[in-house]
Structure 1
């Protein structure tokens, strides 16, 4: 058994730092060079709320350099990013990991049981913002990569791409790293994104794809006038409601081989009109579509534009559409890479994970254009919540899974 001290944040009234005893890893498994749970706690103490670096990438770069990794800061437009490689550039087998150290704001800090950037461990649980999403995942793959570095074969390399912009606009994070890698001739053969992937327990699920996401702003323009004289007006709300009614009357599809049905959600309708006796001139609706591989950005824009033209011809109310697609749908088909990770997870957890494409978007949507990519990480139960936390042993288990995947890949 080993002991080490946890230091609460300055100003925290939780008492003096306490030494907490932690059990060593199983005697049958040699300890890694870096304790992934301890590194998670250290990263949580770096207040890296998007777009602040907070010291997290500085900490990781120091550890990776000390382990013989070549590192580069790839900051762009004020966004902090880190690239690290062990092994030769252009190696025939280059395994990549991707993750982010930026976190969402903690909200009301008084609502937290322990300060959100304390990284305190209590009864085997690490508390703090980023404990789940996803400083623990970054810590796990960093520990596994450093441990693997000494055993890399001559034709093998490891690449870590870590961004500070996943929770933000995602314009200058992983995208910037991939742009830089292309310019430098750096290439990953395969990549794991360490985002939380399990709903309730380790081993349940791994993500082999994601739905696309597109936002629409639909503006209907009519003729303003007195509500008592509707024949002198063209009510944009009536036309817009009709338009949305057609859109939502039937599902977009019934799902595909790897995807559940696409979903369309109207999220706002607004005129800016607070008067009951005025027919407004304009009405605007916002909607989001999470779409599977039965659709593309272009096909959805065409579908909504054609419908707008039909309603416009019927009502005389004009429509304009603005679209913003943050990512298209993709899937990494089951094969050697997916099978390897799935087998390792099953062996380590006793559960064969479901292959899923559920959930929102992640930076895997960018990496899928670079190399085959999948997501496997911790249980995501407490993501973005007050009192975000993670069992320390779960982080160590994830590090062991990543290390076993690397063993299998390079064997």
Structure 2
């Protein structure tokens, strides 16, 4: 059994449902300490974070990942126990196999090999892990980034191991992510009997034109490789369950995924202007999940393009800013250039999550080649 397959299985066997790390970081810290890394544990609330470094000064190359996983759902729906890793027909099954314990294990193996081959490498190579990526993302990399900002910790390049590939390992290079902004809107009305609407005020009727305006609004035409900004209404709730009662309140949840044309504050103002224009009596709570980031052409993208082409028989990867978001949104504001490279994402968060063993066994070489290209060439 290969080193990376063995370590991935060890990590999957620890049921680290967010925010519980279940001992994953302690296992990794022990290995990297033996390889000569300085280890720092940063625990905030119920969240474990690990910062492991080797070398001194700049440039600083950080590998970014998470040890937490989403809940497995009904275990009887899985062909095998989600926390008892099993290889079947060339696939490794288990919760976190693709998202992202396989990448984390590959990071560790690549780091061990890199410092063994280049003990006196220039700059600093680092690993940053959290157990709060799949959850609220409050006490994980967001909080670590605040600590780094306060103490002047520099990060020049960041490689996140999120499962980014579409059909084959290395066919996609993520060079940015959209921002995410969520809202909880409460529209206030006056409850009453449906037969006497003049004595009530129906918040559903009042809100529908405003919600239609928000949903139909063309926010922008996109930005470089980013798609246009999108607003999606995800939940609508009102009423008592009775068909003869006008509700007194309506609650709506919506989310915006936005490109670098915008910052959260401007989007909030635009949305509230629409609500005010429709005369609503409302309360609105915003949650800023993270601003968009984009890595321009430079050493990191050039190195990634060259390395991935070598791993895909010369085919250049698609360079994309699609998908949801990642913890890199907290590292980019520190001044870091950020990319994401990882295994195929077709099974993430699903029953019978899996990763190809052949892809998993190539991942350490891919990350090692990137480290060598950036810090040893």
- SS in structure 2 opposite 1:228? coil
Instruction: Report which stretch shifted further, 303-312 or 151-160.
Output: 151-160
In 1, Cα distance between equivalents of 2:227 and 2:349: 25
- SS in structure 2 opposite 1:134? helix
In 2, Cα distance between equivalents of 1:248 and 1:190: 37
How big is each residue's C-alpha offset from its partner over 1:179-234, in whole Å with a ceiling of 9 and x where there is no partner?
Answer: 33345543222110110111121122111111111111222222333322323332
- Runs of 4+ residues over 6 Å off in structure 1: none
How big is each residue's C-alpha offset from its partner over 1:89-146, in whole Å with a ceiling of 9 and x where there is no partner?
Answer: xx12221100001111111112222211112223432111110000001111111111
Q: How does 1:155-170 map to 2 (within 5 A)?
A: 155-170=122-137
Over the residues paired in the alignment, what is the CA RMSD in angstroms?
A: 1.6
1:83 to 46, 51, 58: 51
Summarize the Cα distance change of 1:152–1:176 in structure 2 as closer, same or farther, 3 Å threshold: farther
1:145 to 108, 111, 117: 111
**Equivalent residue for 1:212?**
179
**Equivalent residue for 1:99?**
65
Alignment check: 8 A CA contact 1:83 1:161 kept? yes
- SS in structure 1 opposite 2:339? strand
Q: CA deviation at 1:397?
A: 1.2
Alignment check: 8 A CA contact 2:239 2:248 kept? no
Alignment check: 8 A CA contact 1:258 1:331 kept? no
1:341 to 274, 291, 304: 304
2:92 to 118, 121, 126: 126
Instruction: Report which stretch shifted further, 180-189 or 197-206.
Output: 180-189
In 2, Cα distance between equivalents of 1:182 and 1:288: 28
In 1, Cα distance between equivalents of 2:236 and 2:87: 45
1:354 to 293, 315, 318: 318
1:394 aligns with 2:359: yes
2:331 to 336, 348, 367: 367
In 1, Cα distance between equivalents of 2:44 and 2:213: 43
In 2, Cα distance between equivalents of 1:194 and 1:399: 11
How big is each residue's C-alpha offset from its partner over 1:239-268, in whole Å with a ceiling of 9 and x where there is no partner?
Answer: 111111111224322222120112211112
1:279 aligns with 2:234: no
* TM-score, with length taken from structure 2: 0.94
> Where does structure 2 lack aligned partners over 5 or more consecutive residues?
none
In 2, Cα distance between equivalents of 1:109 and 1:127: 13
1:65 to 26, 33, 40: 33
1:264 aligns with 2:231: yes
1:406 aligns with 2:371: yes
**Equivalent residue for 1:331?**
294
In 1, Cα distance between equivalents of 2:189 and 2:120: 68
Q: CA deviation at 1:63?
A: 0.7
In 1, Cα distance between equivalents of 2:151 and 2:182: 34
How big is each residue's C-alpha offset from its partner over 1:21-46, in whole Å with a ceiling of 9 and x where there is no partner?
Answer: x7xxxxxxxxxxxx222211111111
> Where does structure 1 lack aligned partners over 5 or more consecutive residues?
5-21, 23-34
Alignment check: 8 A CA contact 1:83 1:177 kept? no
In 1, Cα distance between equivalents of 2:146 and 2:105: 24
Alignment check: 8 A CA contact 1:161 1:177 kept? no
Choose 1 or 2 for highest CA Rg.
Answer: 1
> In the comparison of the two structures, how many residue pairs are matched?
373
**Equivalent residue for 1:225?**
192
In 2, Cα distance between equivalents of 1:197 and 1:304: 32
Alignment check: 8 A CA contact 1:97 1:141 kept? yes
